[in-house]
Amino acid sequence: MAQGSNFVDYVKVCCRSGHGGAGSSHLHRDKFTAKGGPDGGDGGRGGHIILKGSTQHWTLLHLKYRKHIIAESGGPGGSALRTGANGQDEILEVPLGTVAKDAETGEILFEITEEGETKVLTAGGKGGLGNWHFKSSTQQTPRFSQPGLPGIEQWVILELKVLADVGLVGFPNAGKSTLLSVVSAAKPEIANYPFTTLVPNLGIVSYRDNKSFVMADIPGIIEGASEGKGLGIRFLRHIERNSVLLFMVPADTDRTIEEEYNILLNELTSYNDELLTKPRLLVVTKSDMLDEELEEQMKAELPKDIPYIFISSVANKNILPLKDMLWKVINEQ
């Protein structure tokens, strides 16, 4: 986690599911029956601890200070075959891409990838059976029932991984969100001012013949980001895990394309030089603002060590060739 950031993508929590309710060993009795048969109901199930995928959450921040998560116990069975109430489940909403691991063994338990998807993290104890289950020809009035099973106590690690194949890297206003909006169904906010995007947006890019890959639009990165300036740095961790870095520089930059690219590259390197091991592509955005002559002139001044393409999300220029380039690099990995 970036220092001082509220972008939390790792939490360790202690989970305790509910104890199962005890079965009842009640014997039926009323005005007319002095010695009735067994009518003790079953105990209720202890509450589960459940993870539920939610697009309303982008981080695990809301779980950071909840060290102990405890679900309710099941209620005991009652007379007249009344089943005890199930303990209330504890439902934790988590962002998509959350991985649950056993903290002791490191074993991956499961992953939550879809909105509304639920999975039981820690199962509640089963309720005990009431005495009527044990009635038989030789045992007419069993005076015993099962106790409920205890809940489970376990330490669990929740880790957020972003399921992205491509990370968009660029200054604020470079056109990152606009690109995501034209290549995917994602509807990120787009505006002509910097820092429109404050949290990452993920989009699924469909590609020729039903292929697809995931693109992450993250907040813009500015000079000094690696020392904590701006917002982008908080999300560089996501880039760390993305396989391809797509550098985006707008055609109308005040600097040269190469200067702007180098600043971005510098910020990434000073944050974590492992980022340099990832494949990079350079996109000159908003190229609808250039005429051919200007474009040729700019091409001559581009950095030499990186494949590039001029695109326009607005004019739909070179979008498919860009996808081709990305697909090729992703699959070389």
Of these partners, Mg ion, ligand GTP, none, which one is at the site of residue 48 (CB under 5 to 8 Å by kind)?
none
Closest CA to 267 of 169, 199, 198: 169
Name which position in 14, 61, 99, 314 contacts ligand GTP (CB under 6 A): 314
Stretch that binds Mg ion, among 96-104, 173-181, 258-266, 280-288 (CB under 5 A): 173-181
Say how far apart CA 215 and CA 172 lie, in whole Å.
Answer: 17
197 lines the binding site for Mg ion (CB under 5 A): yes
Please identify, using beta-carbon distances, which residue of 235 and 271 lies nearer to ligand GTP.
235
CB of 180 to Mg ion, least distance (A): 8
Stretch that binds Mg ion, among 21-29, 38-46, 169-177, 286-294 (CB under 5 A): 169-177
Residues 181-240 within binding reach of ligand GTP (CB under 6 A):
190-192, 194-197, 219-220
290 lines the binding site for ligand GTP (CB under 6 A): no
The label of the residue with tokens 């091409």 reads: 299
> Which residues is 170 bridged to in the sheet?
248
Site string for ligand GTP, 61-100 (x = CB under 6 A): ----------------------------------------
Binding residues for GTP: 170-177, 195-199, 217-220, 285-288, 312-314
List binding-site positions for Mg(2+).
Answer: 177, 197
Binding-site positions: 170-177, 195-199, 217-220, 285-288, 312-314
